[in-house]
Structure formats: structure tokens, C-alpha cells
Structure 1
């Protein structure tokens, strides 16, 4: 699997490196054995590759393993037939303590993103992914509050928008990114739904509020028109993080994503719970 960037660790210093910055001689002289997976809390070792046509990329070092929650971790059980993947149903009912732990874990990841900063040549934005590799720290994946139930809740891994892949389909994931716009519509049977489109030129992904959400959260949904107008007519960036069931969009299997939300508690706008965010819009400005 091709990996677009690596975390360079040398004498306690950490920095992102991109394959375009290296060649075989420079890699062997300075970077070999010092490149690791950039994903948060993954210690997999990486190697540099360059094809005859000049195409460069990183790949996983032979016999090195990625953490279970890393998007570059591939196992045989992930190689499922398309017919076995598209219609699988998963348990989407998460407890509030479970949701709180997931969002806390996300905040830890984002804090690391702010800690390491490497501008990409030709771009002004910081690199998105950060991890503290090469340390003895071992933060376990979030599996919910095991004390409150004899049943283990589903593991919920965190994905930036560009980390989504086909192995996330039919799994509960915490996904984050910038929202571009919002739409409200109805099905032929009259049932209503809504969706927010992520702002990305590379990943086709949306947050979907299906009819089941509308039925369970009617009071909140009644104010979605206000929320839509605010998002679609504002110059503000809306950072959204949500926990939902990742599905493939109709007609675009494995190429686009719907993150289906069934609980209002499972989505935040600019780090504010959705219900509170909407309530703030109804308050008169001073």
C-alpha cells in the first residue's frame, strides 16, 4: 500500500517528510531506519520507493505492522467481496460515555496535529496528520465503557477525511473535516432526510441524517432549515466531527462515503454539540 508521507524521527526531533523530497541516495544516507507511519499512535516502520518513471512513495517496511486502528493496516479479513460489504448492518446505538470517550480521543489526536507542523511545498496549510511514534506510549483503541455492560461496544476508530478507505465501510467511525454546504430533501414516500457535504476536492463524502434520525430527533430536525441557511450563506469554516455508520453512496460503490448519523449527541460543529450549536443560532445577537 502506498503511503503519501512519513514521520521522520532522529535524535528526538520529529518532522514530516514527503517522498518528493527524497531520492534513493539521500534515503540510504540519511533517512533509512528513521521513517515511521504518520498516523497517530502507529509505530510502523516505512521504506522509500522510487519507480523507473520517477514516481515516489513510501511503503510499509517488511515485517513491520501498523496499529489496528491505522488506515494503512491491512489484514486478510478486510478483503471482502463487494456483495458481502454494501448491505451489512451494524449496531449504531452508542452510549453517551462511549461518545464522550471517542471525542476525547479525537481531541488528543488534534492536539498532536497542532504540535507538529510541516508546510507542504506550494501549499500554505499545515499537514493534517500527526503521531507520536517511536515512543513507549501505548494508548489503546477506544472500546467504550466496559464497566457498564457485559457486551463490548464496537471499536470506533478516528479518520480524517483523507484517511477513509474501503475497510471503513459498515464500521462505526469518528470522521472529521470542513463542511462545505448542507441540503434537506425528502424521499418518494415523503420521509425527510438531510446531509452535509464535506469540503474536499479529492474525497466525496457527506454526513447523512437519514429518516431514522429525523424520527428520533424531530425537535432538532425542525430547526435544520435555520442551520442550512446559516451554513450555506456564511463565509465561516465549519469544522465538523461526527460518529456514524460509514456506507457507500448509491451508485458509487467503494468510491464515495456517507457517514450516517442516528444520534444528535454524535456530531459536533466547531467543537460544539449540534443541539447547542443550533440553539445558539436562535439566540438574538447583542
Structure 2
């Protein structure tokens, strides 16, 4: 069962944090590794789970247990570890799959604008719960990672495997653990665009953190021949306007200059103000 409040504990004090405001906490990066159960005398450590298919929530840290009187107490059920000793393969995502991800980002952003970020508190009743304890030996399996790059081993749906999910990130949550994987990005606005002979770089921000979005050789090889001109038009608009345009994408997370950034591989894999770039330019 998801948990919606936690105690952030450091050397000096303790602070109650709520799930609907936690990402904006001024010490978010430190706090996310120092969360504990709110029930009195319960030592269980908690971890933050960002929004994906389910709403953001806290959950109990692996192998940390709540005391029996705690409202969040559960009994662990032992099962085999599913991912150890498994082979790993990459699967290319279809444009339709990526379009669905970007459309979902648009839908949820519009929903936030219309309804606000109201969080429904949950009323808990104590009952017997179980959770998975992956302490038994692992079984052999294939771990499929999604990719938008040129090195995919499988095409989406090939071999009877389902399309793997793409983890959602915003600039607050994007971190070193994402490097080398495909992620979706939301909650960013375009601050600046740089164009040179070899690549285009979008500098995006959420007001607190910044990130570079790279468009390089593979992108232009797989895009319409006029797409660079469209990017130049967008740069001119950004340079002359005081408006902040929303940016969302699906791409590979890379490390450049000791920082975490993203690489876009195809022209259909990003949106400006929730629109495909040619459509966005046409509507201005």
C-alpha cells in the first residue's frame, strides 16, 4: 500500500514531509535518502517513488520492517529474485509508442492546469498485509530495456516480448542512475537554443535545475532535410520572445561535462508546447 507522508531526519532535526510537495523540497536530493516512517517508535526507512503508471508515493525500503503496531506494518512474502543472472537486450520503441508517451505527458499537464495539484488524503485502517521479499535464488530471464538509439537488438513486439515501459522523469528526478537508459522528460521549458555546424543544443530548465538536450548527427540523418531550418526558426522565436515554451521528449540519458543531459534521436521524439515542431511553428 502506498504511503503519503514521511519523516525527513537529519543530524539536527526531524521534519514531516508530504508526498504532494516533496519534489519541491529545498533539500530534495538529501531528503530522499533520509526518509522514515511517521508512526511513533517505528524505525522503518522509506523511499520516494516518482510518478509513473501510479501516483507518486513513499514505500518501505527493501529489508526494512515496520513494528507490528504500525499502521503500515506488513509481512514479507519470499519469492525468487527475478532480475539477477538475467540476460539484457534493448528494444527499439515505435514512433506510435513514443507518441503515446508524449500525448500522456500533455494530458497530465493539462489536467494539472485545470484541476490544480490537489492531493487526496488517505484514511488508513490496520490490516494484515504482505509484500515481496526477493531473497530466494533468481531464475533465468531476459530483461528488456527500451531504446530510441541505433543499437537496438529487438524491434518492438519482436520475439513475443511486450514493449517495455519508459520511466518518466522531470528535471528534479533525472540523475546518474538514468545514464545509458531511455527516459521521458516533462516539466521543462526552453531557456536557450544553440546551433553550430555539428549539433543543436536546447538548454531547458524547471526553474531549479537545468539540462542540455542534444540533437546530433544520428538525429539529422533520420530527420527530414529541412528540419535544421525549422530548429533555426524556433531559435529565432525563443531569442526574440520573453515566453517560455514547454518542452517534453523521449530520449537517451547521457553524461556530458560531468552532468546529466539527454540525447534526442529522431524528429518525432520531442514536443514544443505539447506539439510536433512543424505544427507548433505553423500555429504561431
1:167 is paired with a residue whose SS is helix
* Alignment correspondent of 2:172: 162
Q: Distance in 1 between matches of 2:146 and 2:122?
A: 22
Deviation at 1:193, TM superposition (A): 1.1
- Match for 1:185 among 173, 177, 196? 196
Task: Kindly indicate whether residue 248 of structure 2 is the aligned counterpart of residue 245 of structure 1.
Answer: no
Task: Kindly indicate whether residue 185 of structure 2 is the aligned counterpart of residue 175 of structure 1.
Answer: yes
Deviation at 1:61, TM superposition (A): 9.7
Q: Distance in 1 between matches of 2:262 and 2:156?
A: 28
RMSD: 4.7
Which is higher, the Rg of structure 1 or of structure 2? Answer: 2
Q: Distance in 2 between matches of 1:276 and 1:36?
A: 41
* Alignment correspondent of 2:117: 117
Report the CA distance shift for 1:280/1:201 in structure 2 as closer, same or farther (over 3 A). Answer: closer
Paired positions, count: 208
* Alignment correspondent of 1:44: 58
Q: 1:51-103 deviations in whole A, cap 9, x for unaligned?
A: xxxxxxxx899359xxxxxxxxxxx98xxxxxxxxxxx966x43122112212
Q: 1:121-153 deviations in whole A, cap 9, x for unaligned?
A: xxxxxxxxx799899xxxxxx989x99543544
Task: Kindly indicate whether residue 268 of structure 2 is the aligned counterpart of residue 259 of structure 1.
Answer: no
Report the CA distance shift for 1:133/1:90 in structure 2 as closer, same or farther (over 3 A). Answer: farther
TM-score, length-normalised on structure 1?
0.56
Deviation at 1:247, TM superposition (A): 0.3
2:209 is paired with a residue whose SS is coil
1:265 is paired with a residue whose SS is coil
* Alignment correspondent of 1:95: 94
Give unmatched runs, 5+ long, in structure 2.
7-17, 28-37, 67-82, 125-144, 148-154
* Alignment correspondent of 2:228: 221
Q: Is the 8 A contact 2:230 2:278 kept in 1?
A: no
Give unmatched runs, 5+ long, in structure 1.
1-5, 21-26, 47-58, 65-75, 78-88, 119-129, 136-141, 187-191, 282-286
Structure (1 or 2) with the greater strand fraction: 2
TM-score, length-normalised on structure 2?
0.57
